[in-house]
């Protein structure tokens, strides 16, 4: 079978690309090169998760790169920290090294698990991969793995593979944490609003109940007065 080098950003995202490539008749081998994943403990968790996937699927795993330096990576962005624009600076070095490794090791093609994520910019990934392929004389295989998004999620849960909570870099981590905080605050506000609404409704019911009781008491008093008046007559 033709060999294909699958650049893998993490364990969960590699599951469907592995399955689909095998279905097409490819013999995939994994490549770990992700200098943009921060902080160090996250880099280690994702690397170890990919090792677990490689073992479960019986696939060779090639590892490159040491533990990342988030501060140095941010400096290399040259101030381009906006989501989307900065992402190209993540795709480029990974595609370059993947293409270079694939060409040097005689792979028939290479691709990336980044193409599985519905949160990634596929056009940018493809552009960087094609440029890297041309530079090193490698062959890039584009596949849109996004239609199998939920299949991959379900499989990762079944296998118990570590699932990350942000894209990769320290900036995306901060954004994810900020979004999580906003979601928690929004949930707390909604909970408080619901509690206040229920309290208002309970108070309104109490007032209506008291008003009804007072009205009934007044009617009873008037009836007694009529009875007393008749008796006196």
Which pLDDT score is estimated for 193? 85
- Residue 37 is encoded by which pair of tokens? 């994943």
Is the CB of residue 118 less than 8 Å from the CB of residue 149?
A: yes
Dihedral over alpha carbons 181, 121, 23, 158 (to 10 degrees):
0
- CATH fold, domain 3-168, is Rossmann fold (3.40.50)
Q: Which of 159, 162, 70, 148 is nearest to 116 (CA)?
A: 148
Q: Which of 81-85, 118-122, 211-215 tops mean pLDDT? A: 118-122
Phi, psi of 61 (to 5 degrees): -125, 125
Is the CB of residue 225 less than 8 Å from the CB of residue 217?
A: no
Tell me the pLDDT of the chain averaged across its residues: 87
69-108 pLDDT tens trace: 766 666 776 766 666 677 888 899 999 999 999 999 999 9
Is the CB of residue 139 less than 8 Å from the CB of residue 133?
A: yes
Q: Domain spans of the chain? A: 3-168, 169-233
Q: At what angle do helices 11-23 and 149-159 cross, to 10 degrees?
A: 120
pLDDT-derived band at 191, boundaries 50, 70, 90: confident
**113/100 Cα distance (integer angstroms):** 17
Is the CB of residue 6 less than 8 Å from the CB of residue 28?
A: yes
DSSP letter at 68 equals -
pLDDT-derived band at 232, boundaries 50, 70, 90: low
DSSP letter at 23 equals H
- Residue 124 is encoded by which pair of tokens? 């940018």
């Amino acid at each position: 079978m033709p060999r294909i080098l699958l650049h893998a950003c993490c364990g969960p995202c590699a599951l469907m690309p592995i399955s689909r490539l095998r279905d097409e008749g490819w013999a995939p081998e994994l490549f770990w090169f992700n200098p943009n994943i921060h902080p160090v403990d996250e880099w280690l968790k994702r690397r170890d998760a990919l090792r677990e996937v490689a073992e479960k699927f019986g696939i060779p795993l090639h590892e490159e790169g040491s533990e990342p330096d988030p501060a140095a990576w941010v400096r290399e962005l040259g101030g381009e920290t906006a989501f989307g624009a900065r992402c190209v600076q993540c795709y480029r070095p990974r595609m370059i090294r993947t293409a270079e490794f694939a060409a040097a090791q005689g792979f028939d093609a290479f691709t990336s698990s980044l193409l599985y994520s519905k949160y990634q910019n596929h056009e940018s990934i493809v552009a960087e991969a094609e440029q890297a392929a041309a530079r090193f004389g490698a062959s890039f295989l584009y596949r849109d793995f996004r239609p199998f998004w939920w299949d991959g999620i379900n499989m990762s849960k079944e296998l118990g593979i570590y699932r990350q909570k942000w894209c990769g870099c320290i900036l995306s981590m901060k954004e994810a944490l900020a979004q999580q905080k906003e979601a928690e605050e929004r949930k707390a506000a909604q909970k408080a609003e619901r509690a206040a609404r229920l309290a208002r409704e309970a108070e309104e019911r109490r007032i209506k109940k008291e008003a009804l009781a007072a009205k009934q008491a007044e009617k009873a008093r008037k009836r007694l007065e009529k009875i007393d008046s008749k008796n006196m007559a």
